[in-house]
Amino acid sequence: MTLARGRGSASEARGARFLDPGVLQRIGNLELVAQGVVEGFLHGVHASPHVGQSLDFAEHRQYVPGDDPRRVDWRVLARTDRFYLKEFEAETHANVTVILDRSRSMAFGSQEISKLDYARFLAASLAYLARLQGDRIGAVTFDSSVRDFVPCSARHLDRVLVALDRSEAEVAGELPTALTAMAERPRPRGILVLVSDLYLEPEELRRPISLLRAAGNDVLVFQVLDPAEIAFPYEEALTVEDLETGERLPITPDRMREEYGELMKDHVEGVGRVLSRSGADHVLMDTSRPLDLALARYLSARRHRGRRGRWASPS
């Protein structure tokens, strides 16, 4: 017991270490990062790595000709004299696609890690976690258009990691165009995890998210921001150059900070509001915070939606 606790403590410590973005930045290898993050996270929460892959009952449905008679719930038949089939969650392996925004603005970083690196770690960790659960995983990276596409497969973890690893923030982004293109491409429905800083008007998100949702996908959006983008800590007069457009603006930060903060807050809330109305989850991630929050939010959302059966039968 003591030993087990001891091992658990060590694992926790190791997991906590790997969850620190600053430490992750120094590891470099994306697979190791994802493995460390996920295992550390799972040990930390004392959860089974096989969450979701179980024989948990999901729902009953009426027998239709062609169904396997062996799946008929004989108890229900005895009580009601009707043929119902019993379905389980394990049978609903999801297609999980991580969508990484590699636009130029993601290159920014005031801390030890840039937004793009943080987003890559986050996407890789989610993919690794999804793979542990038996989900089929795929990836899409985009800036002004789709740059890499990895279709969902149970064996595509390596390809996903490679696609994420070679992503560079070099071109200005066009999120609505990229998402719309994805929505219009026929593919199996599943879980779409969008990782982006979402520098666009919230209303511009409505249509592409709605299209993705209408295609039967569940959409989970991680909005990644640097602490400096939120707090705007600059003091002396300076010139700001927009990473996306190259536009330069002379500013006096100390006089603009408060209003900037208000605008940023309104923006984040507006994004959350639009996504919520579109049926998508919105999680704001600060690059100074560990990744476990993101994983927990993912699992929480998956469980919640899994129980509602949304993975298998989108509304």
Partner 1 sequence: MGISFLTPLFLAGILAVAVPVAVHLIRSHRGTPLLFPSAMFLRRLPVRSVRRRRIENWPLLLLRVAALTLMAFAFARPVAQWGPDPEGGGGEAFREVVVVLDRSWSMGLGDRWERARRAAEEELGRLVSPDRASLVVFDASGIVAVEPTLELARLRTVLDTLAPGWGASRIGAGLQAASGILEASDRSRREVILISDFQRSGWDSGPRDPVPSGTVVTPVDVGDGPVGLVAVPEVSLQHSYLEGRQRVHPTARVMRVGEGTPSQARIVLELDGQEVESRVVDLPAQGGVAVPFEPFLLPDEGVRGLIRTDPATPLYGGRVVDPHRFTFSPREVLSVLLVEGGGTARGIHLERALTAGGDAPIRLLRRSPESLSAADLQEVNLVLVNDVPLPGGELGRVLRERVAEGVGLLVVAGAESRPESWEAAWDGFLPGRPGSVVARSPTQGGRMTQVDRDHPIFLPFADGDGRGLGAPRFFAYRDFSSPMASQGTEDRAPVDVRVRFDDGTPALVEGMAGRGRILLWNGSWSPVWTDLPLHGVFVPLAQEMTRYAAGRRDQLPARVVGQPVEARTLLEWVDPEGEASEATGLLVGPQGRGVPLTLAGGVPPVPEVPGFYELRMDDGGEGAVFAVNPDPAEMDLARVDSEEVALAVTSGSGGGASDPGGDPLVAGVGGLGDGPGASRAERERRQGAWRFLLAGVFLLLVGETLLAGRRTERPGARRMVRS
Give the residues lining the site for partner 1 (CB under 8 A).
105-110, 113-117, 168-170, 197, 199, 226, 228-229, 233-245, 247-252, 254-256, 259-260, 263-264, 267
Nearest to 282 by CA among 199, 184, 196, 207: 196
For the CB of residue 249, give the shortest distance to partner 1 in the complex, in Å. 5
Task: Put the strands of the sheet holding 95-101 in their side by side order.
Answer: 146-153, 136-142, 95-101, 191-196, 218-225, 281-286
For the CB of residue 271, give the shortest distance to partner 1 in the complex, in Å. 13
Select 28 or 233, whichever has its Cβ closest to partner 1: 233
Select 3 or 249, whichever has its Cβ closest to partner 1: 249
| Distance from C-alpha of 44 to C-alpha of 136, rounded to nearest angstrom | 25
Select 94 or 122, whichever has its Cβ closest to partner 1: 122
Residue type, 139: A
Select 13 or 256, whichever has its Cβ closest to partner 1: 256
For the CB of residue 235, give the shortest distance to partner 1 in the complex, in Å. 6
Select 67 or 254, whichever has its Cβ closest to partner 1: 254
Angle between helices 115-132 and 292-307 (to 10 degrees): 40
For the CB of residue 211, give the shortest distance to partner 1 in the complex, in Å. 24
| Distance from C-alpha of 218 to C-alpha of 262, rounded to nearest angstrom | 30
For the CB of residue 34, give the shortest distance to partner 1 in the complex, in Å. 20
Q: Is 254:235 a contact under the CB 8 Å cutoff?
A: yes
| Distance from C-alpha of 222 to C-alpha of 293, rounded to nearest angstrom | 11
